């Protein structure tokens, strides 16, 4: 029988995508690692009880317990306002990840420079 819980990870990357004027964007998060054999359903889940930012948990189903590991890569997206860093939580560590920004769209560049047009 399997159990649901946090999974170990090796690396995490986060990108913030600006979606347009007057609306929040989203975080695109990618995590890679080596999970115990017989692990499935690995996904990224927002930690709703984390206060003061965004925390993402790496969760999956493991069991029965066996020897060895298998590599995985998982991706998720989470809406919200821009933050310079987020936290990724696995069974082996909590890691602060710096967020990279996708450049502004044309609408956003226009809004940014609108004062110069007046």
Consecutive 10-residue averages of pLDDT for the chain (118 residues): 93 91 88 96 97 96 92 97 97 98 63 48
Q: Is residue 116 part of a domain?
A: no
Name the token pair of 12.
């995490």
Rounded Cα distance, 51 and 59, in Å: 19
The rounded Cα 97 to chain-centroid distance in angstroms is 9
Residue 118: predicted pLDDT: 39
Residue 105: predicted pLDDT: 59
Give the global pTM: 0.84
55 to 27, 51, 68, 85: CA distances (angstroms): 11, 9, 28, 10
Residue 38: predicted pLDDT: 93
Rounded Cα distance, 67 and 58, in Å: 21
Q: Is residue 42 part of a domain?
A: yes
Residue 116: predicted pLDDT: 45
Residue 18: predicted pLDDT: 85
Q: Is residue 114 part of a domain?
A: no
Residue-number span of the structural domain to which 53 is assigned: 3-108
Q: Is residue 113 part of a domain?
A: no
Structural domains of the chain, count: 1
Q: Is residue 60 part of a domain?
A: yes
Cis link prior to 64 (omega < 30° from 0)?
yes
Residue 53: predicted pLDDT: 94
Q: Is residue 100 part of a domain?
A: yes
Among candidates 37, 97, 26, 48, which has minimal Cα distance to 70? 37
Give bridge partners of residue 39 from the DSSP assignment: 62
């Amino acid at each position: 029988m399997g159990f649901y819980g946090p999974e170990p990870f090796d690396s995490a990357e986060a990108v913030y995508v600006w979606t347009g004027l007057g609306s929040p964007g989203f975080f695109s998060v990618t995590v890679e690692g080596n999970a115990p054999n017989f692990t499935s359903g690995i996904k990224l889940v927002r930690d709703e009880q984390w206060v003061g930012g965004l925390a993402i948990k790496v969760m999956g189903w493991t069991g029965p317990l066996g020897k060895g590991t298998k590599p995985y890569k998982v991706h998720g997206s989470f809406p919200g306002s821009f933050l310079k860093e987020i936290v990724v939580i696995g069974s082996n560590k909590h890691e602060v990840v710096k967020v990279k920004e996708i450049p502004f769209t044309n609408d956003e560049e226009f809004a940014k420079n609108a004062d110069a047009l007046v």
